[in-house]
Amino acid sequence: MKFLEGMAFLLAFQLVGEVVSRLFHLPVPGPVLGMILLFVFLLLFRKVPVALSSAVEPLLNNLSLLFVPAGAGVILHLKRIGSEWFPLVTSLFLSTLFGMAVTALLMHWVLKWQHRRGRV
Amino acid sequence: MDSFELLEIWVYLAESPLLGLTLTLLAYIAGVRCYQASGGNPLVNPVAIAIIIIMLCLALSGTAFQTYFEGAQFVHFLLGPATVAFAVPLYQQLGRLRALALPMFVGVLGGVLAGTASSVVLARLLGASTDTALSLAPKSMTTPIAMGVSEHIGGLPSLTAVLVISTGIIGASFGTRLFALLRIEDDAVKGIAMGLNAHGIGTARAFQVSPQMGAFSGLGMALMAFIGPLIVPSLLSFLGFLD
C-alpha cells in the first residue's frame, strides 16, 4: 500500500508538471517540472514521507531498465547509423568525455579557489 | 499439440503486449547477470546487452519494433515518475548542495556548453548530415526530455533516443576511468560530471561507486534536464545550426 501511495504521489507531481508545462508553453518538459515541484514540496515539508521513499527506491534502483525500450529503437535507424557511423561514434565518444572532463575540472578548480580564498 | 495450434498461439501472443514486456525484463535480467558475472566491469553494460538481445529476438522472429514497443511502453512510461523521483536524493543532499552552489554553477554551465557544442560541430566536420548532427545535440539529457528537444530543434526524436542511450553507456563505461586519469577524487564533483553528461545510465553506475556519488549524479542529471532544454536551442542558433 505504501508503494502505491508513493507512486500516486510521483504520478500526481508529474501530472501537475505536465499541465503547467503545456498551459504556459514552457520549454521545460512535464516530468522535470514535476521534479522541481516535488523538490519545493520537500523543502517546505522538511522530510521525505515514508510512502514516497518506498516508491522512489525501487524506481531509482532499477533505473537502467527504463532505458531499454527506447534503446532498442536503434533497430529503426540501422541504415542511417550504417552510413554515418564514423562521425556518430567519434562525436559521441569525444564530446561525452570532453563534457565530463570540462564539468569535473571546472568544479574542481572553483572548489580549490574557494578553499584557498577561505584560508587567506 | 500440432504446429497449427502453436502458430495460432504465436499469432495471439505477437499481438498482445505480454511478449514485448516479458522480453524487456528477461533481456535486462540477462544483462545484469552478465555484468555481475564479469565482476562489475563497467564495460559490460547491462543496458547495451539487453538492447542487443532484444534486437536479435526482433530480427530473428521478424517482429516490427512498433509491435515490440506496445508491450515495452509500460517500462518506458516509468521514465516519467522516475524523473520526478530524483527530487528525493536531491533533497537528501541539500546541505552539500548549498555549499557547492558556485562550483556547480560554473561546472554545469561549462559542461553543457562544451558537451553540446563539441558533439554537433564534430559530427558535422566529420561529414554527418545536419539532421543527424542536430539529433546529437540533446544526447546528455534524459530520454523523454532529449526526444522533446530533438523534435523542437529539427532532429529525429527516435534517433536521439538511441544516441542518448549510447551516451549513457559511454559515460558509465569510461567515466570513472576518466576521473581517475584527471585525479578527481571528490564524489560530489564526479557525481555531477557523470549525471550531467551521462544522465540516468551514468547515475546507475555512480550509485554502484557510492551513494554519495549517486545522489550527486542524480542532481547533475536533474540540472541537465532543467538547464539543457533552456540553453541548447539558443546555443545551436548561435552556432548557426538553426534558422
Answer yes or no: do A94 and B118 touch at CB < 8 A: yes
ipTM, interface predicted TM-score of the complex:
0.87
* Assigned domain for A68 exists: no
Number of domains chain A is built from: 2
List, in sequence order, the alpha helices (H) in B38-86: 46-61, 65-77, 79-85
pLDDT at B179: 97
Residue A82 and residue A54 share a domain = no
Query: Which residues of chain A have a pLDDT value below 50?
Result: none
Residue of A nearest to B20 (CA): A69
pLDDT at B36: 93
Answer yes or no: do B55 and A30 touch at CB < 8 A: no
Answer yes or no: do A84 and B86 touch at CB < 8 A: no
pTM of the model: 0.83
Over residues B34-58, the pLDDT tens digits come to: 999 998 887 888 888 999 999 999 9
Q: Is A50 helix (H, G, I), strand (E, B) or coil?
A: helix
Residue A46 Ramachandran class (φ > 0 left, ψ -120 to 50 alpha, else beta) = left
Average predicted confidence (pLDDT) for chain A: 91
Answer yes or no: do A29 and B144 touch at CB < 8 A: yes
* Assigned domain for A106 exists: yes
The answer on pLDDT for B10 being more than 70 is: yes
* Assigned domain for A29 exists: yes
C-alpha cell at A47: 522530510
* Assigned domain for A66 exists: no
Residue of B nearest to A18 (CA): B80
pLDDT at A119: 64
Contact by Cβ (8 Å): A67, B78: no
Percent of chain A with pLDDT over 90: 69
Residue A1 and residue A48 share a domain = yes
The residues, any chain, with a CB within 8 Å of residue B242's CB and separated by 6 or more, are: B153, B154, B233, B236
Per DSSP (E only), the strands in chain A are: none
C-alpha cell at A27: 520549454
Residue A12 and residue A48 share a domain = yes
* Assigned domain for A112 exists: yes
Contact by Cβ (8 Å): B150, B160: yes
Radius of gyration of chain B (CA): 20
Tell which wins on pLDDT, B5 or B119. Answer: B119
Residue A116 and residue A90 share a domain = yes
Over residues B165-220, the pLDDT tens digits come to: 999 999 999 999 999 999 999 999 999 999 999 998 999 899 889 988 988 998 89
Over residues B222-237, the pLDDT tens digits come to: 889 878 888 898 899 8
* Residue ranges making up the domain that contains A9: 1-61
* Assigned domain for A103 exists: yes
Percent of chain B with pLDDT over 90: 58
Residue of B nearest to A113 (CA): B103
Answer yes or no: do A102 and B104 touch at CB < 8 A: no
The distance of B39 to chain A (nearest Cα, Å) reads 18
pLDDT at A31: 86
Distance (Å, rounded) from C-alpha B228 to C-alpha B29? 32
Percent of chain B with pLDDT over 70: 99
DSSP B38: T
Average predicted confidence (pLDDT) for chain B: 90
The answer on pLDDT for B150 being more than 60 is: yes
pLDDT at B1: 56
* Assigned domain for A93 exists: yes
Answer yes or no: do B170 and A93 touch at CB < 8 A: yes
Residue A82 and residue A30 share a domain = no
Q: Which residues of A touch B133 (CB under 8 A)?
A: 87, 91
pLDDT at A120: 56
